Structure 1
Amino acid sequence: MRRSLMRITFRQLQVFRTVCETRSYSRAAEEMALTQPAVSLQIRQLEELVGQPLFEYLGKKLYLTDAAEALQRASTDIFGRLDNLDMQLSDLRGSMQGQLNLAVESSAKYITPHLFAAFRREHPEVSLQLLVVNHAQAVKRLSVSRDDLLIMSQVPTDMDLEFLPFLDNPIIAVAPPEHPLSHAAKLSLQDLTAWPLLVREPGSGTRKAGEEYLRQKRAHFAQTIQVASLDALCEGVIAGLGVALLPRHAVHLELASGLLRELPVAELPLYRSWCLVHPRGKRLSPVAQAFFTFIREERSQISALAMRFAGTPIRPDQG
């Protein structure tokens, strides 16, 4: 190893990683409570040790050089190993400590905090960093192993992944209570096609699952309305813009309050499974491994949560 690399400091790597994330010297300085000249100096010293430029401007945008991308991968590994060491030392002291970096598809964001709360009752010193993404973003993050674990449905079959299905994700048809279809005793998917269908943005897992199922059932909607977020889509249905296919977990409060009504469609619910996913061969941190084990072994707690989100009362013998 070149001796110059041995002189790289953790502080320089922290500054470098912040510049990579923000793509701006000034924003990196603001985040780290430094002056911009101090950030520039740290990067300049780091470039001298590496022996190559790390950033270049094209127009007004800051881009990473090949050397910066290599250093970014190395720094992620270095800080990841330090995090693991911290967790292992905590484990040796008899307590689980550390942070779980978890990415979830947007329709899983409603149930995930409850899963983590159940886990944290056993490990109260563990913290959570939760990132909400759509399906396409989740796949991209898996390809570069950005997170400890991901929660997603429709696990990609063309990637080498380890995944654990742990909870049904029922997708249902919903409409506001005053909608004509809300009073029907029985419906088919074809009955829905006379109304506009509200859909998520391209890249959404719920949209992908719904579109594939509608094609399979040959149910064609003449009009669709695209909405950028699940919450906005839900509000659009409440406002009477159309009907939608949504995960039951995501609209359980609206169903319970009467703002939405589940339509009695014979071909629904469409069942998919929520899965806990990571690249095969990835070395999980002690915290991530503990969470994976918890999800695998605590099926009774997870089933109780699922019943609560389905609006089903939990009997004492199920709690």
Structure 2
Amino acid sequence: MRITLRQLQVFRAVCAQQSYSRAAEEMALTQPAVSLQIRQLEELVGQPLFDYVGKKLYRTEVAELLLQASEDIFQRLQSLDMQLSDLQGSLQGQLRLAVESSAKYLTPHLFAAFRQQHPEVSLHLTVANRGQIVKRLGDNRDDLVIMSLVPPDMALEFLPFLNYPIVAVAPPDHPLVRAARLSLRDLGAYPLLVREPGSGTRKACEEYFQQKRAHFPQVQECSSSEAQREAVVAGLGLALLPRHAVRSEVAEGSLVELAVEELPLFRSWCVVHPRGKRLTPVAEAFFAFIREERHLIGALAERFEQRR
């Protein structure tokens, strides 16, 4: 097989964009040039790579296998590039990091501290909910991920590095704000605003509710923590959110943290990668930074909390 790297680059662009025309724009090519590269690639593998169903492009089984192989090839090339730069005395390259949405506020500050030690490293950051992060881990899409609630049924290496509290919040005119002491069960009489299925914070809270025998019959879903927070400010219900995500609103008075006996609920952020994965030099350096700079990370988290 005489597959070229250029053909694989075009193929990966079509897979990512799910469109020949958008892939052509991304790669500064004409659409016929993209079609030609894909056709030549199909001739080399002996099978079609894409199906059209209802004017939508879908990858075939062969395309899935080829995409997985191409990811491995380009990761190895990137790793080689980093190793060569490392031999020249400087760490260079890109860290492909996927983070659970609860960690998206802290992660840029964390990477900024890391880049003070390695100024020639860049970041490609993907933010997703827990369900999407788990799928990305299974597909080996990223160098590392940051998440809570690491799935026990997957072969993963993980390192917990920072606890974060989940608290209950309400608008300032809510009846529960005046209560000096509350239980989780007291919250069940009011609408609860939750994240979409797949959210790590939602999963952690649901497991905790079950453990504490707290029931919430009135539930409304929000697609992001920002939407969830704003819905509480608007008076649509209560919510359980990471404290750092609502610190500004609590400080300015548009939200109030409720005095619930069973809260905060503490969870840990972990840096994670598939077991046996060959880490790039940049990923190895970032993992080592997380492992060895606990004091720095703790101080960074405190400063971050004060700024929020």
The TM-score with structure 1 as length reference comes to 0.92
Q: Does 1:193 align with 2:191?
A: no
Separation (CA, whole Å) in 2 of partners of 1:214 and 1:125: 45
- The answer to whether the aligner puts 1:235 opposite 2:230 as a matched pair is yes
Q: 2-side partners of 1:308 and 1:257: how far apart? A: 18
The Cα of 1:309 is off from its aligned counterpart by 4.3
Equivalent position amino acid for 1:39 in 2: V
The reply to whether residue 180 of structure 1 matches residue 175 of structure 2 is yes
Q: In 2 relative to 1, CA 186–310 (structure 1 residues): closer, same or farther, beyond 3 Å?
A: farther
1:278 matched to 2:273: yes
Taking the aligned partners of 1:296 and 1:38, their CA distance within structure 2 comes to 47
The secondary structure found in structure 2 opposite 1:131 is strand
Q: In structure 2, how many angstroms separate the alpha carbons of the residues matched to 1:212 and 1:70?
A: 36
Residues 48-127 of structure 1 aligned to structure 2 (within 5 Å)? 48-127=43-122
Deviation of the 1:117 alpha carbon: 0.8
Compared CA separation, residues 309 and 267, structure 1 to 2 (3 A): farther
Residue number in structure 2 paired with 1:308: 303
- Cα distance, 1:58–1:265 mapped onto 2, change above 3 Å: same
Secondary structure at 1:177's aligned position in 2?
coil
Q: Find the partner of 2:39 among 37, 40, 44.
A: 44
The whole-number CA distance in structure 1 between the counterparts of 2:244 and 2:38 is 46
Q: Aligned-pair distance for 1:310?
A: 4.2
**Cα distance in 2 for residues equivalent to 1:182 and 1:131:** 36
Q: Give the match's secondary structure for 2:140.
A: coil
User: Matches of 1:259 and 1:70 in 2, distance apart?
Assistant: 51
- Distance in 2, Cα, partners of 1:258 & 1:297: 38
Q: 1:167 aligns with which of 156, 162, 166?
A: 162
1: CA distance between counterparts of 2:305 and 2:174?
Answer: 22
Mapping for residues 203-282 of structure 1, pairs under 5 Å: 203-282=198-277
- For residues 135-150 of structure 1, what are the structure 2 equivalents within 5 Å? 135-150=130-145
The separation in 2 between residues aligned to 1:92 and 1:162, in whole angstroms, is: 27
Supply the AA of the counterpart residue of 2:85. S
Using the alignment, how far apart are the partners of 1:312 and 1:183 within structure 2? Answer: 27
One-letter identity of the residue aligned with 1:308: R
Q: Which shifted more, 185-194 or 139-148? A: 185-194
The one-letter code sitting in structure 1 at the alignment partner of 2:283 is A
Contact 1:256–1:311 (CA under 8 A) maintained in structure 2: no
Deviations 1:268-317 (A, max 9, x none): 0111111101110000000011000001111111111232344499xxxx
What secondary structure is seen at the aligned counterpart in 2 of 1:53? coil
- In the alignment, is residue 23 of structure 1 matched against residue 18 of structure 2? yes
Structure 1: any 5+ residue segments left out of the alignment?
Answer: 314-319
CA distance in 2, matches of 1:284, 1:201: 32
**For structure 1, which segment, 189-198 or 279-288, has the greater mean C-alpha deviation from structure 2 after superposition?**
189-198
The count of aligned residue pairs is 308
Residues 159-190 of structure 1: CA deviation (Å, up to 9, x unaligned):
11000000002111111223222233221112
Give the alignment's Cα RMSD to 1 decimal. 1.6
AA in 1 matched with 2:136: R
- Separation (CA, whole Å) in 2 of partners of 1:257 and 1:82: 49
Partner residue, 1:288: 283
**For residues 108 and 251 of structure 2, what CA distance do their matches in structure 1 show?**
19
Q: Which runs of 5+ in 2 are unaligned?
A: none
Letter in 2 for 1:248: R
Contact 1:108 / 1:250 at 8 angstroms: preserved in 2?
Answer: no
Which TM-score applies when normalising by structure 2? Answer: 0.96
Q: Is the 1:252–1:309 Cα contact (8 Å) retained in structure 2? A: no
User: Of the candidates 139, 146, 150, which is equivalent to residue 151 of structure 1?
Assistant: 146
- Report deviation, 1:103: 0.6
Indicate conservation of the 8 Å contact 1:172/1:270, yes or no: yes
Q: CA deviation at 1:109?
A: 0.4
Structure 2 Cα separation of the partners of residues 24 and 162 of structure 1: 35
Identity %: 73
How far apart in 2 are the matches of 1:114 and 1:41? 44
